[in-house]
Amino acid sequence: MTTQYGKEADLAKNGKAEERRRLAASMTTKPEILYYMAKDGDPGVRKALAGNTATPMQADSLLAKDEDVEVRATLGQKISQMMPELTDKQKTKVRRWATDTLEDMSRDQALRVRHLLADTLKEMTSAPPAVIRQLARDTDAMVANPVIEFSPVLTDKDLATIIAEGANTARLKAVARRKQVSEAVSDAIVETGDVEATAELLKNPGAHISEGTMDKIADRAEDHPELHEPLVARPGLSDKAAKRLAEYVADSLLDTLLARKDISPDLAEQVRAVVMARLAAGDGPPPGAAGEDGGAGGGANGTGALEPEPDRLTRDEALELARDMNKKGQLTEGVIYDAIGRKDRNMAMAALAVLSDTKMAAVVKAFATNSAKGIVSLVWEAGCSPKLAVDLQQGLGNVAPVEIIRPSSKAAYGLSEAEMSWQLEFLRDMA
């Protein structure tokens, strides 16, 4: 009579692929059989094994080095999901093994493996600190930025190090959006001089900003209209900052400033005095500030009045225009260069979406995450030049100078065609 072990052993050795996959995925399969199946020639069998929580550590150790990306990605996701259950002292050995394995996988060459790890671990309080720190320093924004923004494991020291290492705008904004940001970290963000990250910080009610730093922002903000509204709306403005804002913000924001409930009658009187002095001197809203209707201001004309800037298209409008231009044979690389010159990200993204036959959401994802690889791959798919790929990264992609992908002697776009194809597939799956 054949034993259950014998049946499983025979199936593992001689069964059809689908039968072996079911056996590899079963929680009741004998550990010895599961270990044997870690060397199965079918990647689908090994992937099923990697996702099985009954698979012994010895088999998982083999799968961690598997040649198939999907096998490694599935294993990394499984081990990540196991971490909250490995806090007991009796499980110290297993946790140490799991941590070591995840550390290795956080450096995996395949983006999909690292992205799945980051996505699973980003909000987990029991995630291994060394793994989280490695993911937060990943060269790919889609891996690093969610971890930087959401991980409760990252300490102020970790965040300060990330900032000091020259984080780009997208990473600084991820730090600024964290649920809680300490005064020390806020100071470090402001010291970088990054306006977009500072704006995110001001909008974040969980960001603690010292009075001295708020005064510093108010002093610097005069030439940066995008900081005016979040400054005026920020709770806890010092008297000095409030009076400084009154010197240059638009009329509509002055009303908001004076209407604040935390402004004392004495301070309100001082702010009005600043405004009256400003009016007496003939000062209107500064160039680029919002007008009374909340619209964008432009440059001054010969009479001293402000000329409105041309209206920017919404994403949907830009996409409709790009499609129409494409039908007429007018959508060329030059259109994207014109958009770069105007800093019109919506038009550049729309043109790239149409030329590369990619959903707008996927293109937006690449730009929103400052993904150098994503932008380069979209330019390649669109049939545009490697030079445009570099100029887009620099002009509208907010890619840090050290992370810009440039053409090389081995690859015209700086990436292999296989890697660019995978990037496109990844972006389209994410959209």
Q: Is residue 260, in this structure, part of any structural domain at all? A: yes
Domain total for the chain?
Answer: 2
The per-residue pLDDT for 213 is 95
DSSP state of 293: T
At 207, phi and psi to the nearest 5? -90, 125
Give the pLDDT confidence score for residue 265 in this predicted structure: 80
Confidence of residue 70 (pLDDT cuts 50, 70, 90): very high
Q: Domain for residue 209, yes or no?
A: no
Q: Are residues 269 and 328 in the same domain?
A: no
Calculate the dihedral angle through the C-alpha atoms of 403, 406, 412, 417, rounding to the nearest 10 degrees. 10
In a domain, 136, yes or no: no
Percent of the chain with pLDDT over 70: 90
Mean pLDDT calculated for residue range 156-184: 95
Domain end marker among 297, 323, 341 = 297
For residues 332 and 405, membership in a common domain is answered with yes
Q: Does the residue 159 lie in any domain?
A: no
Are both 249 and 335 inside the same structural domain? Answer: no
Average pLDDT, the chain: 86
- Tell whether 366 is covered by a domain: yes
Q: What range defines the domain where residue 394 resides?
A: 315-430
Same domain, 351 and 420: yes
DSSP run (H or E) holding 174: helix 169-176
Which pLDDT belongs to residue 2? 64
What pLDDT is attached to residue 304?
32
Mean pLDDT of 75-89: 84
The predicted structure's pLDDT at residue 279: 61
Closest CA to 201 of 225, 183, 223: 183
Q: What is the pLDDT of residues 233-279, one digit of tens each?
A: 898 888 899 888 888 887 778 778 887 888 778 877 887 787 777 66
Looking at the structure, tell me whether residues 320 and 292 fall in a common domain: no
Q: What is the pLDDT of residue 166?
A: 87
| 141 contacts 170 by C-beta, under 8 angstroms | yes
* pLDDT tens digits, 343-364: 889 999 999 999 999 999 999 9
- On the question of pLDDT at 310 being above 90, the answer is no
**Are residues 397 and 326 both part of a single domain?**
yes
Question: Do 376 and 346 share a structural domain?
Answer: yes
pLDDT value of position 274: 76
Q: How confident is the model at residue 311 (pLDDT cuts 50, 70, 90)?
A: very low
Taking residues 157-185, report their average pLDDT: 95
Q: Is the pLDDT of residue 163 over 90?
A: yes
382 pLDDT more than 60: yes
pLDDT per position as a tens digit, 24-60 = 999 999 999 999 999 999 999 999 999 999 999 999 9
Res. 286: pLDDT tops 70: no
- Say whether both 326 and 422 belong to one domain: yes
Tokens linked to 202: 């001001």
Local confidence band at 296 (pLDDT 50, 70, 90 cut-offs) = very low
Whether the predicted pLDDT of 309 surpasses 50:
no
Averaged pLDDT, 88-113: 87
Mark whether 353 and 290 lie in a shared domain.
no
The region of weakest confidence among 80-84, 86-90, 288-292 is: 288-292
Assess whether pLDDT exceeds 50 at residue 280: yes
| Token reading at 42 | 């079918």
Is pLDDT larger for residue 142 or for residue 291?
142
Q: Evaluate if residue 162 carries a pLDDT over 90.
A: yes
Whether the predicted pLDDT of 152 surpasses 50: yes
Q: Is residue 224 part of a domain?
A: no
Residue 289 lies in a domain: yes
Looking at residue 306, its pLDDT comes to 25
Instruction: Work out the pLDDT band at 86, boundaries 50, 70, 90.
Output: confident
At 293, the pLDDT band (50, 70, 90 cuts) reads: very low
Angle between helices 43-50 and 69-82 (to 10 degrees): 10
